[in-house]
Amino acid sequence: MRNEAIVLVVAFGYLALLFLIAAIGDRRAEQGRSLIGSSSVYALSIAVYCTAWTFYGSVGRATEAGPSFLLIYLGPTLAMLCGWMLIRKMVRIARAQRLTSIADFISARYGKSQSIGALVALIAVIGIIPYIALQLKAITVSYAILIDYPAQTSLQHAESLFFADKSFWIALVLAVFIILFGTRQLDASERHEGMVTAIAFESLIKLLAFLAVGIFVTFVLYQGPVDLFARAAEDPKLLHLLGLDNVPGGAAGWVGLLILSTLAFLTLPRQFQVMVVENVDERHIKRASWLFPLYLLAINIFVIPVALAGLMLGEAAQTPDSFVLTLPLAAGLEFLPLLVFIGGLSAATGMVIVETIALSTMISNQLVMPLLLRWRHLHLDHLYDLSGWLLGIRRVAILFILFLGYLYHALIGDSYSLVTIGLVSFAAAAQFAPALLIGLYWRGATRIAAAAGLMGGILVWGHTLLIPGFAQSGWLEMSLITAGPFGIEALRPYQLFGLQGLDIYSHSLFWSMLVNIGLILLVSQFTQPSRLEQTQAVLFTDALQNEHLHTPVWQGHTSRGELRQLVHRYLGAQATERLFAPFQCEGDLCDDQDPAPSEMIHQAEKQLAGALGSASARVLINSVVRGEALDLQAVLSILDTTSQTLEYNRRLEQKSEELTRIGQELKEANDRLRELDRLKDEFVAMVSHELRTPLTSIRAFAEILRDTPDLPATKRQHFLEVIVRESERLSRLIEEILDLARLESGRMTLNLQKLNLVEVVQQTRDAVARLYEDGGVTLTFTHQAQDPWVSADPDRLHQVLINLLENARKFAKTGAGEVSVSLSQVGRHLRLEVEDNGEGIPESEREKVFEKFHQVEQGNQARPKGRPRGTGLGLPICRGIVAHHGGRLWIDEPADLGGANVILELPRIPPPAQAQDLDAVTTEPSP
């Protein structure tokens, strides 16, 4: 028997120390020298995961199910190692929207829905109460063992009055303690730095205590782990304990427990509190992702040794859940059992503190405040200062939670081991996971679907875990479990629809998740999210991409005075002053009647959200702000529309410019076409005119010959010659017209050959020599070109040259005609100049002679008298042919002879190898 007073003094001393640490933590936070600004503290605070259940229960579970107790820690390890991105996403969202609890978080995701918030809060309270009861039980039992050992402790609280029950007083003490340091400040989203400091400290204590027991058992009671395991190996029953095969539910049980603990780690209200709400620096998450698993490893490393030792040393009489405490007690130690008790106390209180604060925040923000705000009879909106109310609600909530915990413990707690109770809570918390995780990654999940999933899931949980628990405790008929409710076998809680072979937790998890996830996915397909919901869904799912995670922008207006009054009512004078300091008016520039800037409204909502939850804050702000809350989606869609319109306008402008341009082009093309059409008409007219002339002679003379049989032979002969000549003229004309058509359509094919231009000119000269002689025109040819080679069609080139020489001959001075042909090399071209000594062509006419039927057109009006007539197609055809050869043909200033000076340029090509000699010969002046 131990002195009860000493134990009490130590216990209260420990609580006082915690309080002190919390106070220091808070003080330092206020001074801006935070104690929790390290990832180690963050990781330790997450270790609030390890409760009395871990501290005492792990050993108990190990004695029943071997290493499977580790699954409870493997889940969080996985979640931390692999899911730190997810946690970071939640942290970022919670910070941006000032979310205070998991209920707030899920409610915010689904459009700040009050009903979702209330539902989550309700489920959390129902689900977590057993877990709190578990802690009370642990403290009570450990206290009793410590005091009474070695006497058997019997907790007969159910039969005794509650004030004789120690756990009642423990609950009360804890409630007072939590009220003292959990609700000193109102703003729940202003993090509880003091609490986190204290929790980290508690994690350290429980680890140290457990390690102390482990080391004592392993190295003092035995000679190290090798000795311990060797001894255990001698007992086949114990050997079996080490095996992996005795997990309830087998392989499915393994997977089930792993999933369960992973989900619960993310969704347990206290885990959400320390991991998300209390996170001060995102970078801590990354480091905690291996620090925390390390902690789990450390606190579990001695579980098996302690379990084995307890079993071997005949502690079986005691419950295995207490081996941690009974082993050092049995060894007769004084100090170690006390340390272990404190360790267990720290594990239990840590959990209870954080869980209760988290739950009380939910109760006040998600359950009570929304109800009060709705309950008009209270005339809350006329009360000037509601901040006191809020604190009061929270304090009552804390008392309420611990009282419920006590009640559960007193009524049911005994029939379960610690682990069992813990797992029931885990399974309840896991019901949040679908709404939370699906909502974080799938925009399509709607509020109604989330609510359906949550309700469906928790109903299955209640049916498969909670209610059978009552039956096992004797509060309900056992037939409920064995025969099913109302004797319906399909509904047997542990074999729902005949599903067998799973442990009860995996079984419950399977069915509840099936219902939960199924409802979310299914109902989402048939429900439409509201605009705010859509906005929030986008903000949540895109949290890591989106830098601006702000809640919707307020577009309505309210006066500064009204806003100030609102915040003052809920948060008190101090917080109000602090909040509005940045918006202070300078001098008399504005007063309370002036409209509040939207940033001020936004800040007020954020601050209120911190205290009341996002849903209530929105309702309150709505009550003073006139006008619609313009949610971000709406803003975005307005911006979208605007930019779309702008883009549309820009494109329209572009299009109209384009159209104008195209119209212009069309007009130009049309003008060109008209011009071409006109030219074509003219061409056709000219062609017809040119064809009619010889045809007229032919027909006339043919008719004369026909109608005049007695025509003298000479005349007949003369007329027939005219007909022949005119026919030839007609053929020539047609040939030229066809040439022209070929040239203009680009269908003229050239039979290109390497030609010596000097040779071609000489051949042409020979061809026209007779005509020149007859006309009395002298023709001279000079050339200086080195390599007078061109690539040309010989027939076409000949045609051009004959045309030029013939023209020159015709236009040369009558009687004393002179034509000079000279070939020279100009750069890469060969230049052939054909000049006559005629009247020449005035500059304005020089291009016109290359127009088709130029002289004909002119002749219609005033053709210079005495000029010989050509077809009017010769020069245009020549120019076309030359152009096809890549050359140029034009009329230049008169040079030596003073008449028309036609210049032909063709590209020069290198002489063919075998032609070098020939070239040398032909360039010799001919005799």
Partner 1 sequence: MTQVLVVDDEPNILLSLEFLMEQAGFQVHTAADGESALQTINAITPDLVLLDISLPGISGFDVLEQLRQDPRFKRLPVIMLTAHGREVEKEKGLALGADDYVTKPFSTQALVQKVHHLLNEAG
Query: Could you list the residues that contact partner 1 (CB under 8 A)?
Result: 685, 688-689, 692-693, 695-701, 703-704, 707-708, 715, 719, 722, 725-726, 856, 859-867
Q: Tell me, what DSSP letter sits at residue 924?
A: S
β partners of residue 753: 792
Measured CA to CA, the distance from residue 801 to residue 807 in angstroms comes to 10
Which residue's CB is nearer to partner 1, number 377 or number 706? 706
The closest of 617, 613, 591 to 604, measured between CA atoms, is: 617
Q: In whole angstroms, how close is the CB of 762 to partner 1 at the nearest point?
A: 35
Measured CA to CA, the distance from residue 483 to residue 489 in angstroms comes to 6
Q: In whole angstroms, how close is the CB of 792 to partner 1 at the nearest point?
A: 36
CA 786 to chain centre: 74
Task: Tell me the one-letter amino acid at 327.
Answer: L
Measured CA to CA, the distance from residue 817 to residue 237 in angstroms comes to 139
Q: In whole angstroms, how close is the CB of 864 to partner 1 at the nearest point?
A: 7
The closest of 753, 756, 760, 831 to 792, measured between CA atoms, is: 753
Q: In whole angstroms, how close is the CB of 798 to partner 1 at the nearest point?
A: 29
| Both structure tokens of 716 | 């007949």
Which residue's CB is nearer to partner 1, number 301 or number 685? 685
CA 208 to chain centre: 45
The position carrying tokens 């703003």 is 187
Q: In whole angstroms, how close is the CB of 726 to partner 1 at the nearest point?
A: 6
Which residue's CB is nearer to partner 1, number 341 or number 719? 719
Q: In whole angstroms, how close is the CB of 729 to partner 1 at the nearest point?
A: 9
The closest of 510, 504, 512, 430 to 248, measured between CA atoms, is: 504
Say whether 413 sits in a helix, a strand or coil.
Answer: helix
| Both structure tokens of 572 | 């008190």
The position carrying tokens 């998600």 is 366
The closest of 191, 182, 180 to 30, measured between CA atoms, is: 191
Which residue's CB is nearer to partner 1, number 17 or number 685? 685
Contact 809, 770 (CB under 8 A): no
Which residue's CB is nearer to partner 1, number 578 or number 732? 732
Measured CA to CA, the distance from residue 431 to residue 422 in angstroms comes to 15
The H helix count followed by the E strand count for the chain is: 37, 9
Q: In whole angstroms, how close is the CB of 819 to partner 1 at the nearest point?
A: 24
Q: In whole angstroms, how close is the CB of 923 to partner 1 at the nearest point?
A: 44
Contact 177, 15 (CB under 8 A): yes
CA 101 to chain centre: 27
Helix (H) or strand (E) holding 335: helix 335-362
Q: In whole angstroms, how close is the CB of 804 to partner 1 at the nearest point?
A: 24
Which residue's CB is nearer to partner 1, number 484 or number 870? 870
> CB neighbours (10 Å) of residue 781?
18
Peptide bond into 150 cis (omega under 30): yes
Q: In whole angstroms, how close is the CB of 725 to partner 1 at the nearest point?
A: 8
Handedness of CA 394, 126, 253, 102 (dihedral sign): negative
Which residue's CB is nearer to partner 1, number 92 or number 729? 729
Measured CA to CA, the distance from residue 174 to residue 14 in angstroms comes to 12
Measured CA to CA, the distance from residue 279 to residue 41 in angstroms comes to 10
Which residue's CB is nearer to partner 1, number 565 or number 858? 858
Say whether 280 sits in a helix, a strand or coil.
Answer: coil
Which residue's CB is nearer to partner 1, number 553 or number 705? 705
Which residue's CB is nearer to partner 1, number 815 or number 864? 864
Q: In whole angstroms, how close is the CB of 868 to partner 1 at the nearest point?
A: 11
Q: In whole angstroms, how close is the CB of 878 to partner 1 at the nearest point?
A: 24
Which residue's CB is nearer to partner 1, number 655 or number 863? 863
Contact 475, 464 (CB under 8 A): no
Which residue's CB is nearer to partner 1, number 113 or number 697? 697
| Both structure tokens of 840 | 């020449």
The Cα-based distances of 294 to 73, 81, 283, 643 in angstroms read 11, 11, 18, 52
Q: In whole angstroms, how close is the CB of 925 to partner 1 at the nearest point?
A: 42
Measured CA to CA, the distance from residue 887 to residue 885 in angstroms comes to 5
Which residue's CB is nearer to partner 1, number 851 or number 857? 857
Pairing of strands 753-756, 553-554: unpaired
Q: In whole angstroms, how close is the CB of 697 to partner 1 at the nearest point?
A: 4
Q: In whole angstroms, how close is the CB of 699 to partner 1 at the nearest point?
A: 4
| CB within 8 Å of 395: residues ≥ 6 apart | 179, 183, 360
Measured CA to CA, the distance from residue 871 to residue 686 in angstroms comes to 10
CA 892 to chain centre: 72
Contact 921, 795 (CB under 8 A): no
Q: In whole angstroms, how close is the CB of 809 to partner 1 at the nearest point?
A: 20
Q: In whole angstroms, how close is the CB of 870 to partner 1 at the nearest point?
A: 14
Q: In whole angstroms, how close is the CB of 721 to partner 1 at the nearest point?
A: 10
Which residue's CB is nearer to partner 1, number 94 or number 723? 723
Which residue's CB is nearer to partner 1, number 842 or number 866? 866
Angle, helices 71-97/250-267, rounded to nearest 10 degrees: 30
The Cα-based distances of 774 to 41, 378, 769, 777 in angstroms read 123, 133, 9, 8
712 phi and psi angles, rounded to 5 deg: -60, 150
Which residue's CB is nearer to partner 1, number 278 or number 736? 736
Contact 768, 802 (CB under 8 A): yes
Measured CA to CA, the distance from residue 463 to residue 485 in angstroms comes to 10
Which residue's CB is nearer to partner 1, number 631 or number 726? 726
